[in-house]
Structure 1
Amino acid sequence: MSAMGGFSDLQRSILRLIKQTGPRTLHEMAERLGVTVEAVRQQTLRLEREGWVQRQVQRRPTPKGGRPSYRYSLTPAGEELFPKDYDDLAVEIIDRVAGLFGPEGLHRVLTDMVETRVRWWEPRLRGMSLEERLAALTAIYQDGDPYMRLERDERGYYLVEQNCPFLNVALRRPVLCSVTVSTLTRLLGARVIREERFQRGDGRCVFRVAPDRPVDPTAFRWAPETDASESGAD
């Protein structure tokens, strides 16, 4: 399992045992794995410090003394070490929406996604200049994606995204990217053109913001990316 490449053999065994059988005490894990309790304790405590497992009190100490007993379970980060099928599920949902409700139904969903993001972020940008909004938006994106940065040249401003958080889905259903383009258009009040994109093998997405092509945010809601980038946002 490639996600566990950085773990020791015993750490991998501990994680797999917890995943397969549920929360376990140190003694239970040692017995199942055929190693000493101390060996399991050392590796489990390290996994706990690194955020992969968490302890739960199984038995609290009594007034007469005794130590509490703990069982160890996977944290959400630990769960992510094991195979997940989020990408296929997301693609299936997109396809089912389009299949059941037609293109218009999918467009309504994408429009609502844009509206939600605008409601979240617009109050934080209100009253700012374009340059200030760009800097603030970059900071907002960097909260969840440290690989976003802002650049500028004589043609305008550029939001450069080196890491797409939903790349596997976007590669298969590029229409999803229209949410980002339309959201930026709404929040910045200017035409946004995605000049580089992962789908073309560029290894990143580059969104150029053209200050000389203003857009009325109250009149523009969402558009397919080709329309939003080239004509519909004018």
Structure 2
Amino acid sequence: MFIAGEHRQDAAAPPHALESRTRDRVLQAISERGPITAAALAEELGLTAAAVRRHLENLVELDLVSGREAATGHRGRGRPARAYVLSEAGHQALESDYDHLATEALRFLAAEAGEDAVTRFVQQRIGELEERYAAELAAAGEDREARTTALVRALTRDGFAASARPVGQAGTASPLTGIQLCQGHCPVQHAAREFPQFCDAETDAFSRLLGVHVQRLATLAHGDHVCTTFIPTPLTAPSASAAVPSNPSAETTKGSTR
């Protein structure tokens, strides 16, 4: 969606500034929606297919994104469509210096006061976020889908590039029906890679906020291109023996629930 004020500002900007700004929009969209095809990017951003392909080629050359064959089934003749995700360098391009500073501070805390001190710090930090999010989710009511939507908005505002999509359908052979919560970016990804307490505390907070046990399927900290959390809906509550649905947003699921 274009905003009139922004469009007027863009019109007066130098061509190279416009190119850089549009490339950043493409990179951000891939962070939020990847894996995503060039056609889907063009539709979402209101750009021509040629413009999107030009920016994608540039981002691939810079090693900020990588492409893979899209899982779209049989396409007939021609080359299969490619879907794009952020590379490790792409995630780093979206990160702030805060992540590196946080990692150094946590290493110092662990060395000086032990791992328990790190755990307490992480739980306090996530607890503060949870308390802030709780008020927003309370305003959404008791409906789990509405609460998830409110959580997505809060996470995106705080830099996690969140999105949600349904998983399974009632009345089908799918063993579980629910919502897949995706976080395409993590402001503390490097810290979480070294200190898994962040992911554990965040998952527990999601469970409390949504009033149901959620399951973490993939994480950026474990090398996946997106953090994925499965949220069961009231239609079919998951049983202890039910299989976890496959994660269509990650090529492989690494280190599911910790």
- TM-score, normalising length: structure 1: 0.50
Q: Is the 8 A contact 2:193 2:221 kept in 1?
A: yes
Secondary structure class of the residue paired with 1:195: strand
- 1:150 deviates by 0.6
Partners of 1:85 and 1:125 in 2: how far apart?
30
Secondary structure class of the residue paired with 1:190: coil
> Which residue, 156, 164, 167 being the options, matches 1:150?
164
- 1:229 deviates by 4.3
Corresponding position of 1:58? none
Aligned length: 137
- 1:146 deviates by 7.2
Partners of 1:98 and 1:142 in 2: how far apart?
30
> Which residue, 171, 175, 182 being the options, matches 2:193?
171
Partners of 1:98 and 1:116 in 2: how far apart?
21
Corresponding position of 1:136? 150
Greater CA drift, 196-205 or 155-164:
196-205
* 1:160–1:173 distance in 2 versus 1, CA, 3 Å: same
List per-residue Cα deviations over 1:59-101 (Å, max 9, x = no partner): xxxxxxxxxxxxxxxxxxxxxx9xx854432112212222333
> Which residue, 178, 181, 186 being the options, matches 2:203?
181
> Which residue, 117, 132, 135 being the options, matches 1:123?
135
List per-residue Cα deviations over 1:181-234 (Å, max 9, x = no partner): 1221121121122212223332111011134369xxxxxxxxxxxxx946xxxx
List per-residue Cα deviations over 1:14-51 (Å, max 9, x = no partner): xxxxxxxxxxxxxxxxxxxxxxxxxxxxxxxxxxxxxx
Alignment of 1:68-147 (within 5 A): 85-126=97-138, 127-145=141-159, 147=161
Provide structure 1 residue ranges, at least 5 long, that are not aligned to the other structure: 1-5, 8-80, 215-227
Secondary structure class of the residue paired with 1:165: coil
Q: Is the 8 A contact 1:113 1:179 kept in 2?
A: no
- 1:137 deviates by 0.7
Partners of 2:209 and 2:222 in 1: how far apart?
26
Partners of 2:161 and 2:197 in 1: how far apart?
22
Partners of 1:147 and 1:86 in 2: how far apart?
17
> Which residue, 205, 209, 224 being the options, matches 1:202?
224
More strand as a share of residues: 1
Could you tell me the percent identity over the aligned residues? 23
* 1:109–1:144 distance in 2 versus 1, CA, 3 Å: closer
Residue identity opposite 1:159 in structure 2: L
Q: Is the 8 A contact 1:191 1:229 kept in 2?
A: no
Q: Higher relative contact order at CA 8 Å, sep ≥6: structure 1 or structure 2?
A: 2
Partners of 1:94 and 1:104 in 2: how far apart?
11
* 1:136–1:90 distance in 2 versus 1, CA, 3 Å: same
Provide structure 2 residue ranges, at least 5 long, that are not aligned to the other structure: 1-15, 18-92, 169-175, 240-255
Q: Is the 8 A contact 2:192 2:198 kept in 1?
A: yes
Max Rg structure? 1
Runs of 4+ in 1 over 6 A off after TM superposition: none
Q: Is the 8 A contact 2:190 2:221 kept in 1?
A: no
Alignment of 1:193-232 (within 5 A): 193-211=215-233, 212=237, 229=257
Partners of 2:159 and 2:107 in 1: how far apart?
27
Alpha-carbon RMSD across the aligned residues, in angstroms, is 2.9
